[in-house]
Each structure stands twice: as structure tokens, then as C-alpha cells.
Amino acid sequence: MPDFTNAAIAQYFDELGDLYELDGAVVHRVMAYRNAAKAVRDAPVSVAALAKEGRVTTLPGIGKTLEEKIVTLLDTGGIPSLDRLRAKFPPGLLDMTRLPGLGPKRARKLFDDLRIDSLDALREAAESERLRGVRGFGPKFEQAVLEAFAAGVAERPAPRVLLPRALGIGEQITSALRSLPGVDRVELAGSARRLADSVKDLDVIATASDPKALTGAFARLDVIESAGSAGENAVRGRTHSGLAVDVRVVEPDLFGNLLQHFTGSKDHNMQLREAMVRRGLHVSEYGILDDATGETTRCAREEEVYERLGLAWIPPELREGRGELEAAAAGTLPRLIEVSDLKGELHSHTVLSDGRQTAEEMALAARERGLEYIAHTDHSATHGFGNHVDPDTLKAQIEHVRELNERIEGIELLIGTETNILPDGSPDYDDELLAELDWVVGSVHTSFGMAEHEMTKRLVAACEHPWIDAIGHPTGRKIERRKPYAVDMNRVIEAAARTHTMLEINAAPDRRDLNDVHARNARDAGVKILIDSDAHGVRELALARWGVATARRAWLTPDDVANTRPWPEFAAMRKRARA
């Protein structure tokens, strides 16, 4: 039997958490399963392998009981308690909790009293006004259910917006609010400030001498379609594009507390508060209450919040509950990479395949951005969109780029390729041709539906190929649009480390692939990371910033990223230079 990936094991624990919640278990037990799922999902090594070695309890949140469950899963392919709970609660029960105001407790109540076990049954019961007969439910709830169905909430989860678009809207709003008279500070908080892959809504916080004037002005902004009060000094709006925006206005001496609170993440704040309660400090958006003195500290600046708690200020990108609190306490937070650290672009396209500009135009634009080298990596012979590059065309391009490199000053031009990794793991040019290039990225563009162990074998074989320097967008995901293909990334990372194959963080904002967790695990395993724009035109060279965002969320320093080095140093790090 193939090993379970961390993601697969994590999914079992998430499901167990959901089902135990329906079963009425104490919340802390449910939390334990969800914490365990997160720990397993983020683990830098194979949890299955750890379990076999008897060391899985070294992971935070995995104790004796969960160790047993993992071992049983590996041995038998299942978990008895999960089978029992699945038999007890129909799958539709969990779907029902997608409705606003309907959590596990109330869903269970409807199941017990009315045998409602699906969204369809729930809608029917609301229409026939049978819900109001249950204690704790009334006409307003029935109405809310029907409204949710009418809005299509039940069918599809609310769409998330990709980070660049969310930031664009957010910056438009914050700059408009900043220009108002009597407005002091305005900042974007939430997942947008943490530079997450995508965001559900925007959080804006501000200080102003006249809060009512600010919330009123927000409601009248061109981008805002509708807005309504959300309590004192707060307003909730919706943009024409459907993005929810929350604005809160506070007194200046609480701005730091509020910014910290609303930047999150939930995990970060929970861990922070738990750790501080042990020291007699209670952290909330209203300040820091000290049990010893009974006094509450209010902070105008966010730095003061962390300082008061004895912690270094933590960059928002790190606030995901992945060890940042321990590092901040120990003074070991990393010096995170910045866009200005990048010196080379190793993945870009020209008109030779599907790009919009010539190699010369791309090179000049890269030089303009301050880069010291750029590799032209057009698609290969089996690209399949009518713009593939056959071997003879590539040979001519080698000559062309070499000639350009002679002529263009101030930047090193490299000729490379983004070769397709065929289903058997081999590239689609022969080795003699690849050997003539300066640089080879190998990517999967076909046969996404392979079984996990086949896809893993395919990528491991690509890593083992002597002329493939790096793997491009290693999981093939498109954020909010396409799941990653099934692959055991821990095995691929291990192979990349062993073969000195670099792994790319593709910076296209809908890819960001490797993601933050994989990139951090790869770095920990000794893999050198690339940050590439995958530009198909000169303007897209700027997309590198989204790759840097992912790298920062992965705790990467300039040293962890190969293309922060000048060309001669980078050249020597290539697999082909090591042979």
C-alpha cells in the first residue's frame, strides 16, 4: 500500500474533528483534532515515516491517542472511530453547517428532532415552516435559511479574491480615506496584510477625529456598491465586484491593538493569547490587561503591543501560528527576503513560444528593473498550442541569444528552455540539445490526472535528470481554479535536495507554486529555492513580488533563494556546474 501523504492524514483528522463536533464532544477535543490536522499538514517531513519510526509524538499536538490512530490508518487503511462516526451522521449534515447561523450544535438538533440530514431537507422544512417547532428555532431562522438558498449560499462557497486584486481595491479605499480631513491613520489589516494567496474580505482600520464622517465617506466611495452600519464607529460595505469590506474607527491610543487584532491570523492570535494568559496577561483589541496590576495597556503603535508582551515585532506574513511566537521570544526571527534582493530572472517567455515580446525586449526590461541576468525559457517541442519550439528552432534561438548577449551591455542573457516533463519523467528534448543550453526548467503541462505515486515518480525522475536544473511550478495548482495534481511533495523535496535540483516559487499570482508551506519545507530539507516571474511580457517581470510574498510567508531569507546571487555565483550552483 502506498504511504499516506501528510495532506491525506490531515484530512482524516479534520473530518474526525468535524464529526466529533456533531457528536457533541467537548470543544477542546475537537480543537485537538484540528490542531493535529494543521501540524500534520505543515510538517516538514513525512508523518507516515515518523509514525513508523515511533517518533510522531514529537510533532506538537500529536499525543499517544493520535499516534495510535495514525498507526492504525497506515496498517489497515482506516480508523475505526471515523467509520463509526460516519455511520452515525449522514454527510449532508456537514453541508448544512455552511449556512450562516447554523453550526454543528444546531444542525445536530435539527437532525435529532426532525431527521433533517441534507440541504434539500433543510430547505423543504423551512418552506413548510416546520423549523419553528424546534426549541431554539423560530420564524426568523426559517427566513434566513430561505434567503441563504435564494442567494445561492448553499450551492457554492463564497468566492475568494486573488491577492493582487484585493490589494488593489484595498489600496484604492485606504488612499481615498487617508485624503479626508481629520483622518489620521488608515491601514489594511487581515489576510491581505499577511499577503495570503487569496482573501475573503478586507479589513480596514482607521483613526479619525470624526468617525461618523469617515464611515459616511466610505459608504459614498465609487467602489462601494452598498454599505450599512456594523455597530458604533464601524461600517460594513460591499464593492461592486462583490468583495466585503469592514471598516473600524478607533481612538488613536488603541490603533496598535486593533491593527494587531485584525491582522490575525486566528491561529496566531489564539496562540499569542494562550501563551500570555500563562503570564497573567489578557490580550484583546481593547488592550492588554495585566492580572497583577489590574491595569490595561493601550498601544498606539503595533510594535508596542509585541514589545509589551516581550516579543520582537513579527512581520505580518509570518503570523500563521507556525512557530513565529517562539522565534520572536527567542530573538530568532529571520531577515525576510525582499524584491530588491533578487538579481536574476530564470523563467520567462518570448514571442518564440507564447510570450508577447522578443528576447531583446525582455532583456532590456529586466535590466531596467535592476536585474543582472535573465534566462529565456520558452516552451518546448510538445507544448501543443501551435507555438511549440522544435529542436531546430531552439538551436537557431541559441545562436540568436548568444549574439544578443554580445551586443547588450549591463545584463547577462541566458538561453534556456521550459521543457515539458513527459509522463515518464523525461524532458521532451534530447540530452545533447539540453547540454547546449545555459539553463533548463522542467515543468508538468500534461497528464495532470496521474495517480499520486505515478506523478511522484515522474517528478523524482525529472529531479534525477542531469540536465534539468529546476522544477517549475511544482504542483500545478491554480489558486481558486485548479487543485494541485496528486503528488507527494515530501518525496519530491527529498529528491531535489539529493540531486541539487532547485525548486521554483512561480510568482504568477494565481500560481504561487511552491506554496508557503512547501517552500519552507524544501528550504529546511536543504533545497535552494528560485523565485521566478514566469513573465510572458515585459510588464509581468514585476510579478516577482508575489513570489517574494510567498517566500516571506515561507520564512525565507535572501540566502535561501538562489537567484539573489550574482550570475557567476548562481552559475556555479547549477546542477550542471556541480557535475
Partner DNA sequence: GCCGTTTTCGGCCCGACTGTTTTCAGTCG
Distance CA 563, CA 502 (A): 10
Contact yes or no for 379/340 (Cβ under 8 A): no
Binding mask 203-242 for DNA (x = CB under 7 A): ---------------------------xx-----------
**160 binds DNA, rule: CB under 7 A:** no
- When binding is defined by CB under 7 A, the residue of 2, 65, 310, 526 that contacts DNA is 65
Edge-to-edge, what's the strand order for the sheet holding 281-284?
281-284, 287-290, 296-297
Return the SS3 of 448. Answer: coil
Q: Quick one: which of 84, 115, 279, 483 contacts DNA (CB under 7 A)? A: 279
Q: Where does this chain touch DNA (CB under 7 A) — which range of 122-130, 275-283, 398-406, 485-493?
A: 275-283
Among positions 14, 23, 67, 95, the unique one binding DNA when judged by CB under 7 A: 67
Q: According to CB under 7 A, which residues from 301 to 320 bind DNA?
A: none
Q: Which of 74, 219, 221, 289 binds DNA (CB under 7 A)?
A: 289
Minimum CB separation of residue 21 from DNA in Å reads 8
Closest distance of CB 205 from DNA, Å? 12
Choose which of 79, 107, 468, 503 interacts with DNA (CB under 7 A).
107
Query: Is residue 427 helix, strand or coil?
Result: strand
Q: Sign of the C-alpha dihedral, residues 275, 206, 100, 96?
A: negative
- Please compute Rg for the chain using Cα positions: 27
Return d(Cα 168, Cα 204) in angstroms, integer: 13
The grid cell for 21 is: 463536533
Burial (Cβ within 10 Å: 0-12, 13-18, ≥19) of residue 399: exposed
Q: How far is the CB of 278 from DNA (least distance, A)?
A: 4
Which part of the chain contacts DNA (CB under 7 A), choosing from 271-279, 317-325, 349-357, 500-508? Answer: 271-279
Residue 535 per-residue DSSP state = B
Q: Is 63 a binder of DNA (CB under 7 A)?
A: yes
Give the footprint of DNA on residues 325-364 (CB under 7 A). Answer: none
Instruction: Choose one: 56-64, 408-416, 420-428, 541-549; the region binding DNA (CB under 7 A).
Output: 56-64
Stretch that binds DNA, among 272-280, 373-381, 479-487, 490-498 (CB under 7 A): 272-280
Q: Which is nearer to DNA, 67 or 360 (CB)?
A: 67
Residue with cell 496577561: 281
408 scored as a contact of DNA (CB under 7 A): no
Residues 10-29 that bind DNA (CB under 7 A): 26, 28-29
The minimum distance between CB 200 and DNA, in angstroms, equals 8
Q: Where are the alpha helices (DSSP H) in 297-389?
A: 302-308, 324-330, 359-368
> Binding DNA by CB under 7 A: which of 4, 12, 111, 141?
141
Residue 137 in the binding site for DNA (CB under 7 A): yes
Task: Write the binding mask 30 to 49 for DNA: x where contact by CB under 7 A, - elsewhere.
Answer: -xxx-xx-------------
Determine if 277 is a binding residue for DNA (CB under 7 A).
yes
**Least distance (Å) from DNA to the CB of residue 246?**
7
Q: Which helix (H) or strand (E) holds 32?
A: helix 27-42
SS3 288: strand
User: CA nearest 505: which of 561, 460, 464?
Assistant: 561
Q: Decide: 101 and 129 in contact? Cβ < 8 Å.
A: no
Question: Which one of 78, 91, 100, 159 is in contact with DNA (CB under 7 A)?
Answer: 100
Least distance (Å) between residue 171 CB and DNA: 20
Piece of 249-257, 277-285, 446-454, 461-469 that binds DNA (CB under 7 A): 277-285
Task: By CB under 7 A, tell whether 407 contacts DNA.
Answer: no
Least Å from the CB of residue 261 to DNA: 8
In angstroms, the CA 197 to CA 216 distance is 31
**Residue 559 to residue 11: CA distance in whole angstroms:** 34
Q: Which stretch binds DNA (CB under 7 A): 103-111, 332-340, 440-448, 511-519?
A: 103-111
Q: Which of 304, 267, 263, 297 is nearest to 283 (CA)?
A: 297
Nearer to DNA, 58 or 407 (CB): 58
Euclidean distance between CA atoms 553 and 336, whole angstroms: 9
With CB under 7 A, what is the number of residues at the site for DNA? 53
The residue within the footprint of DNA, chosen from 11, 44, 45, 61 (CB under 7 A), is 61
> What is the identity of the amino acid at 353?
S
Contacts of 539 (CB under 8 A, 6+ apart): none
Which residue in 54, 78, 80, 138 binds DNA (CB under 7 A)?
138
Across 240-372, where does the E strand assignment appear?
244-249, 281-284, 287-290, 296-297, 344-345
Q: Which residues pair with 188 in a beta bridge?
A: 204
Contacts of 83 (CB under 8 A, 6+ apart): none
521 vs 333: CA distance, rounded Å? 17
- Amino acid code (one letter) for 560: D
- Evaluate the CA torsion angle 74, 79, 80, 83 in order and state its sign: negative
Strand spans (E) along 389-522: 412-420, 439-443, 470-471, 502-506
Binding segment toward DNA, per CB under 7 A, in 279-287, 322-330, 510-518, 547-555: 279-287
Looking at 152, 156, 157, 278, which residue binds DNA (CB under 7 A)? 278
- Residue numbers at the binding site for DNA (CB under 7 A): 26, 28-29, 31-33, 35-36, 57, 60-67, 81, 97, 99-107, 132, 135-141, 144, 230-231, 266, 269-270, 273-274, 277-279, 282-286, 289
